[in-house]
Each structure stands twice: as C-alpha cells, then as structure tokens.
Amino acid sequence: MDNILDGLNTEQLQAVTATEGFYRVIAGAGSGKTRALSHRFAYLVSEIGALPSGILCVTFTNKAAAEMKKRIRALTGDNDTGYISTFHSFCVSVLQEDISAVQYPKSFLVLDNADIDAMLKLIYEERGLTLRDMTFGKARDMIEMRKLVKDPEYYELMIAMTPEALQEKYLNAAAADDIIFWGYLYQEKKCFGLDYNDLIKYVLHIFDIDAAIRLKWQQRLEYIMIDEFQDIDALQYRLMRVLCDYHKNLFIVGDPDQTIYTWRGASVRYLLEFDKEFSNVRTIMMMRNYRSTPQIVAAANALIAANKIRVDKDLIPTLPDGAPVVYHHARTAGEEALWIAHEIKDLADRGAPLRDITILYRAHYLSRTLEEVFLREELPYTIFSGVQFFSRMEIKDALSYLRLVSLRDDLSFLRVANVPKRNLGQRRMKFLQDYAVQNSCTLYAALERTVDDDIFKNTKAKRLLALVERFSALVSELPVSELLSKLLDESGYEALLRTEGSQERLDNLAELKQSVHDFEINCGEESTLESYLAHVALMTAGDAESGKNAVKLMTVHTAKGLEFPYVFLCGLMEGVFPSKKVLTREGMEEERRLCFVAFTRAEKRLCLTDAEGRNLDGSYRYPSRFIFNVDRALLTYTGELDPRLVSDTRLMIESNEKMLELTAAGPSFGPGDRVVHSIMGSGEIVDIDRDKNAYLVKFDSIPTPRKISMRARLERAPSQV
Ligand SMILES: Nc1ncnc2c1ncn2[C@@H]1O[C@H](COP(=O)(O)OP(=O)(O)OP(=O)(O)O)[C@@H](O)[C@H]1O
C-alpha cells in the first residue's frame, strides 16, 4: 500500500481513498489529477480488492488511456487493467458483446474518416456529385450535424430499415444534402458500419430497449471514473448517467479553465452543476501545480484571469524558481522560425535532449514555415498532428488486408484488391460493381461467382481469393500479430514497398506490428482479430509515437493532457491565435482557455513568439491580445516593440472587444419575429446563425432571405411592440 499512497498530497490522498459515492475533483492544470486517477484505480484494486473488470476509467484520448494503463500496471503489477478507455472505445466493447440486440453482427465495422471518404467517393461517383457541390470535409460535417442536431433519431431508421429500403431513399433523394446523407446511411448499413456518432447512439439505444443488457452493464461497472470532465458532451453525459445508476459510484475530474471543445458540443455546465444533479456530492479542489516553474504558473494565472465567465481560482506553484517566460516579436514568419531554431540549438548545446522540446501552434498550416527552416538548419523534428499515423496509406492498406480477411467488405476490397497490381483495374472493378448491384452482394462475393468469366483471364483474381480463404481459416489459429506479418508477406504488399524503396513506409509497418503486439499484451484472451479491428479504427494522432530524438511539433488541441520540459508557443498573432473565426465573447474565452492549456504544458521554460506580416485575407498581423493579457513584469521581451505597433494593436483589440461585447447579449429576436431595418424595410426573422452572429431575414421587398449581422440596427415591428 505504501507505494500507492506515497507522494500524494492531502487532496490527492482524499481523492484516492474516497471510494464510495459521488465525487467531483476540480483540479487546476498540472495539479496531479492524472496521478490521482491512476492511484485511485490502483487503490481500488490492491486495497479494496475490486476487480479491474468492474472499473471503468474514461480518458479523453487513446493515448491518455495507454498512459494510464502503463501507470496502473506499474502500481499494481497486474496486467489486467479493465476498461480504461475513451467513451468511444468503451462503446465498441459494449457493442461487441451486445450489438445483436439491434440485429447487427458482432463483426460490425468501426468507420474512420478515411472509410467515410471512401463511401462518399462511391456516392459522388454514382450520383454525379463533385467536390464543388460539397467537399468531403464539409460532407462529413453535414452528416455529423444531421445525426446530432437535425435528425437525432436517425439511428432508429438505420436500424429498422433494410439496406434496400435505405437505398431507395437514397435513389429518390434530389438535394445534394439528402443524397449524401441517405447514400451514406445506405453504405453504412450495407457493411454494418458505424461511425463515431453511431457508436454512442447505438449503445444508448440498446440500453433503452433492453433493460437486461442495461442492468448487466450497470452491475458490472462498480466504479466509474471520468477524466477531463469539463469537455464532456450531452450524449456522453447521458451514457455516464445510465452506467452509474446502479452502484452510484462516480468520480469525476475536470478543470473548467481547460474547456476547449465547446465547438464540438462539450459543456462545462456538467462539471459545474454536478453537485445539483447528484445527491451528496463531495467536491475536492486541487490547485497546487507540480508541473511548471512559478514564472510559468504566474503567466498562466494572469492570462486566464482575463476571462470573465469563470470561477476565480489561481494555480499555486510548488516548484523552485526557473527561467523567465520569454516573448519574442519577429518581423516575418521566417525570422520567427529562425529565432526558434537558434534557441533550440542553444538549449541542445546546453544539454537539453531534442525530444524534450515541443513547439505548439493554433493551426496545422503554421508548421510549414517552421518545417522549411528546420530542414535548412538540419534540426530533426516530428509532426504530431499532421497526417495521422493510422490514416497513412501503408497503415490503411495493411489494416484493409486484415479487414478483408475478417469481413470481406467492399471498402477493404476496393482498397487492396489491386495493391500490389493483380490486373484488377478500373474496367474489371466496374464489372464487379455492376454485378454486385444487380445481385445485391458484396464485391468479394461478386468476384467469387464470376472469377471464371473471360474478363478475369490474365489476372491474379484467383490468387487473391485463395489468399483470403487461406487466411480466413487461420484467423482462429494465429495471434493477430502473426497473421498480419504473414499476410503482408504472402500478399506481396511488403515486397511492393521494398521495391518502391520507401524506408519510412516500411518503418511505419514495423511500428504497426509493434502496436498489434502491444494490443495483444494488453487484452490477453480478448485480443481477437475482430476486437483489434474495432479498436484500431478509434486510434488517432500520436497513438503510435516514435521515441526518436526530435523536436515535437503539434497543435494545442493535440497537446491537451500532455507535458513537456521546453515549450515554444508560436504564431501568437491576432487572427491566428485568437483565430479570426472567433465572433463571440464566449468564443474568445474558449480561445483564451486554449492558450492557457498551451502555457500550462510547459515544465521548465516557456517562450512565446509572433511575427508581423499579413494574414491570408490580406489584413495586417498584430501581436495577440493574449500576450498583453499577461502583465509586462511577468514576461521578458527580447526587444522593445515599436510604440506605433503597440498603439495600433491596442486600438484594433479594443474595437474588436467592443464588437464581442455587443454579441454577448445574444440575439434579441427569434424565428418568426417581425422586424424593421432602417434601410431594407420590414421583414421576418427566418433563422439565427450563432456561428456568424447573424439573422437570416426575409425582407418583404426582396424575394430571397438575407443574412444580416446582429450588429445591424433592427427594430421590432410596431404591431409586436
Ligand atoms: N503530489 C505530487 N508530488 C509531486 N509531483 C506531483 C504530485 N502530483 C503530481 N505530480 C507531478 O505533476 C505533474 C502533473 O501531474 P498530472 O499530469 O497528473 O496533472 P494533471 O492535473 O492531469 O494536468 P493537466 O490537467 O494540466 O493535463 C506530473 O509530472 C506529476 O508527476
């Protein structure tokens, strides 16, 4: 027990040993909440004797789950770590056991973005849509919005309707939105595919319709813990409520100042009002920061104090003094990157390993200038938020081979049937697609039935079928790692990469094999091919991290929950960070919280940088208001700013803040209200666009409705006053 309770402060000790009932920990950044969670898990298992399989510990990312498992294993010495997972991953576990309640097979498919895009491609081709109608990114967003907001009951249709009925709805759809939405649901149903939104909806639905299944899970999960509770959304909250309703043991941890996913539906309200929703809630506050120097903590406190909508609380530093927080203003983005490169070289000369140094930025595109300079300066770096490991071509190909063996689905078939070349090009694929549509079967089945047709003469179609058959028979005999190695070998895929001479791709395949191996160690007997495929679709950036000694580059969102000895936060310009997309006071506060997350990742040293120049829309770049939010005395400027630049910046920020204040009051009118515009005359509010802070108004004198900013002067029409 000593090592479990060792090194915990009073509040952490309280959090770890309070095991029964509803607990809320409001914890500041770097205050040791991850430590408290992992020690609590270990305490439950080692001291209380709870079974790991009866504990659900929800983390925000797969990476955080892996880290938590590692820590718990070190504390308990037990390999079984129960359900330590994200909400999505946990839903996959539930569905693997109980999806038959909605007449889906256990071999359902978890879809990631690349799968969704492959489906969209089919739909676009079939219905003659182009990217000008809608880009794939926009189509994915549109589908998500329809599933979450516009048609939240869509899943009932998806479950109840046959693929043929969905296909009919799709073929009868006329508007692009409808074609894409119904086409996508049809594609999903055809291969029993579920995307991230479906996973949680399906679980909630199964719990709704089947009390026995619900009770089974409620009884099984004796203790539930949830990390990063400030970013929980409505569906996750509903799921959590159901799960804890039997044993009533729920332990949540969050930091209201680190809410950064409001734009995706998260709400800090669930954390702040937790004590009103549940009875006998005990709250533990953890504000002592163990991560950062007092200089970094002071800068972070000053920054976040500028937010108005927040509970006032300051982080308390515990570490000895360190280097000052530095601010560097550069003339151009190139100079900014060069300054960072030189500082890094200086740190390295003084003994800092490159892997301890991280550069954070608000948006992906900011990495380009850094990369150019780093290549020139021969500074090794790794991008953590660029093309995600599991979205890379070779990884998707390898996984598609596994999936083809397991599921024989169309998506995998389309991806790898002709990689390496088997002479199954476009013409033969089209033949198979037509056959599959006419005979309502999969492409694989179509090939099985037509392989003796003349069209497949001089192809390696038979060999492909034989390969899949041979490996299907091996699925239950071989561990997934071995199956994968053999498959990559015998399919000729690895040889193809070798002939292409792509060492990086081969390294990535080796990394994939390692990740399968880790999965087998973590899951023991549960590590079947099906469960591996279901979980792997949920993996995201940074999940397969390479340990090479290189500077890390990532967005602030990716850095959530992580810590690094040396942090450079670059691109701190108005219009970049805060982003120019921010149009409301709430939005600005979320940006500031994001900046707070960035500051508080740093342990020993924090450097802030910005550059003059112009934004993509041609406007001038000014230093970010977030720099001026921190008292001058808490920052060491590397040079004085030009007084004209300072006064221009202040003017620009002041007028922007005034505009945000106007929006803080929210819309004065709702749909259906009659209004009068001083120039355009009278009209009716049709809709409100909160993102753009605008009304959609149908003016009586103009045939089409128009978007009018909430800043414009609109009066209520006389008859309504
Ligand atoms: N009681 C303690 N004594 C000494 N160090 C501690 C203590 N608690 C936590 N730490 C250290 O402080 C750092 C931050 O802890 P942890 O990552 O658990 O914080 P966190 O609250 O999850 O942070 P964040 O919310 O900012 O991501 C870690 O390096 C951890 O080892």
Determine which one of 11, 195, 227, 530 is catalytic: 227
Would the annotation count 33 as a binding residue? yes
How many other CB atoms are there within 10 angstroms of residue 632's CB atom? 10
Determine which one of 81, 258, 388, 459 is catalytic: 258
**How far is ligand 1, taken at its centre, from the CA of residue 29, in Å?**
8
Distance CA 696, CA 685 (A): 6
Transcribe 666-711 into DSSP letters.
Answer: --S--TT-EEEETTTEEEEEEEEETTTTEEEEEETTSSS-EEEETT
| pLDDT (0 to 100) of residue 142 | 93
pLDDT(253) > 90? yes
CB neighbours of 212 closer than 8 A, spacing ≥ 6? none
Q: Give the CATH superfamily of 390-540.
A: PCRA; domain 4 (1.10.486.10)
Instruction: Give the domain ranges of the chain.
Output: 10-93+203-286, 109-191, 316-388+551-658, 390-540, 673-716
Would the annotation count 27 as a binding residue? yes
Would the annotation count 457 as a binding residue? no
Cα–Cα distances in angstroms (integers) from residue 531 to residues 54, 106, 208, in the given order: 19, 9, 24
Q: Does domain 10-93+203-286 have CATH number 1.10.1760.20?
A: no
ipTM of the complex: 0.95
pLDDT bucket at 666, cuts 50 / 70 / 90: low
For residue 548, give the 3-state DSSP assignment.
coil
Mean pLDDT of 126-151: 88
> Which of 9, 11, 31, when mutated, tests ligand 1's pocket best, judged by the most ligand atoms within 8 Å of its CB?
31
Residue 10 falls in the annotated catalytic set: no
Residue 116: φ, ψ to 5°: -60, -45
Q: Which atom of ligand 1 is nearest to the CA of 8?
A: 1
167 ligand 1 Cβ < 6 A: no
Mean pLDDT of 3-20: 91
pLDDT(544) > 60? no
394 ligand 1 Cβ < 6 A: no
**How far is ligand 1, taken at its centre, from the CA of residue 717, in Å?**
57
- 635 and 365 in contact (C-beta within 8 Å)? no
pLDDT bucket at 514, cuts 50 / 70 / 90: confident
Across the chain, mean pLDDT equals: 89
How many other CB atoms are there within 10 angstroms of residue 8's CB atom? 19
> Which of 3, 8, 35, when mutated, tests ligand 1's pocket best, judged by the most ligand atoms within 8 Å of its CB?
35
33 ligand 1 Cβ < 6 A: yes
- Flag the least confident range among 64-73, 178-187, 417-426: 64-73
For residue 435, give the 3-state DSSP assignment.
helix
**What's the pLDDT tens digit per position in 311-320?**
788 999 999 9
| pLDDT (0 to 100) of residue 540 | 52
pLDDT bucket at 617, cuts 50 / 70 / 90: low
| pLDDT (0 to 100) of residue 60 | 86
**What's the pLDDT tens digit per position in 19-57?**
999 999 999 999 998 889 999 999 999 899 999 889 999
| pLDDT (0 to 100) of residue 223 | 96
The pTM of the full predicted model, rounded to 2 decimals, is: 0.78
**Where does 316-388+551-658 sit in CATH, by number?**
3.40.50.300
- 42 and 8 in contact (C-beta within 8 Å)? no
Would the annotation count 49 as a binding residue? no
pLDDT(713) > 70? yes
32 ligand 1 Cβ < 6 A: yes
Would the annotation count 82 as a binding residue? no
| pLDDT (0 to 100) of residue 515 | 75
Give nearest CA residue, ligand 1 atom 11.
290
- DSSP H helical ranges for 329-460: 333-349, 367-376, 393-407, 410-416, 426-439, 443-450
Transcribe 176-210 into DSSP letters.
Answer: HHHHHHHHHHHHHHHTTEE-HHHHHHHHHHHHHH-
pLDDT(547) > 70? no
**What's the pLDDT tens digit per position in 103-136?**
998 888 888 877 898 899 889 988 998 888 888 8
Cα–Cα distances in angstroms (integers) from residue 689 to residues 60, 164, 580, 584, in the given order: 29, 36, 17, 12
- 22 and 278 in contact (C-beta within 8 Å)? yes
**How far is ligand 1, taken at its centre, from the CA of residue 453, in Å?**
65
The reply to whether domains 10-93+203-286 and 390-540 share a CATH topology is: no
Give nearest CA residue, ligand 1 atom 3.
7
pLDDT(543) > 50? no
Q: Which atom of ligand 1 is nearest to the CA of 34?
A: 18
DSSP state of 133: T
**How far is ligand 1, taken at its centre, from the CA of residue 28, in Å?**
10
Give nearest CA residue, ligand 1 atom 23.
30
End-to-end CA distance of the chain: 70
Q: Which atom of ligand 1 is nearest to the CA of 33?
A: 21
Q: In what order do the strands lie in the sheet with 325-330?
A: 381-383, 551-555, 357-361, 564-569, 602-611, 325-330, 635-637
Mean pLDDT of 350-366: 92
Would the annotation count 31 as a binding residue? yes
| pLDDT (0 to 100) of residue 254 | 93
| pLDDT (0 to 100) of residue 719 | 65
Residue 34 falls in the annotated catalytic set: yes
**How far is ligand 1, taken at its centre, from the CA of residue 433, in Å?**
55
Determine which one of 11, 12, 24, 34 is catalytic: 34
**What's the pLDDT tens digit per position in 694-705?**
889 999 988 899
Element (H, E) at 84: strand 83-85
pLDDT bucket at 668, cuts 50 / 70 / 90: confident
139 ligand 1 Cβ < 6 A: no
29 ligand 1 Cβ < 6 A: yes
Mean pLDDT of 383-398: 74
600 ligand 1 Cβ < 6 A: yes
DSSP state of 555: E
pLDDT bucket at 539, cuts 50 / 70 / 90: low
8 ligand 1 Cβ < 6 A: yes
Distance CA 150, CA 85 (A): 29
Please give the single-letter amino acid code of residue 400. S
pLDDT(2) > 60? no
Q: Which atom of ligand 1 is nearest to the CA of 561?
A: 27
| pLDDT (0 to 100) of residue 615 | 66
> Which of 9, 290, 358, 560, when mutated, tests ligand 1's pocket best, judged by the most ligand atoms within 8 Å of its CB?
290
Distance CA 85, CA 134 (A): 34
Q: Which atom of ligand 1 is nearest to the CA of 289?
A: 12
pLDDT bucket at 541, cuts 50 / 70 / 90: very low
- 600 and 675 in contact (C-beta within 8 Å)? no
> Which of 6, 16, 25, 34, when mutated, tests ligand 1's pocket best, judged by the most ligand atoms within 8 Å of its CB?
34
**How far is ligand 1, taken at its centre, from the CA of residue 262, in Å?**
25
Distance CA 40, CA 59 (A): 14
Residue 661 falls in the annotated catalytic set: no
Residue 258 falls in the annotated catalytic set: yes
Burial status of residue 505 (CB atoms within 10 A of its CB: 0-12, 13-18, 19 or more): buried
pLDDT(524) > 70? no
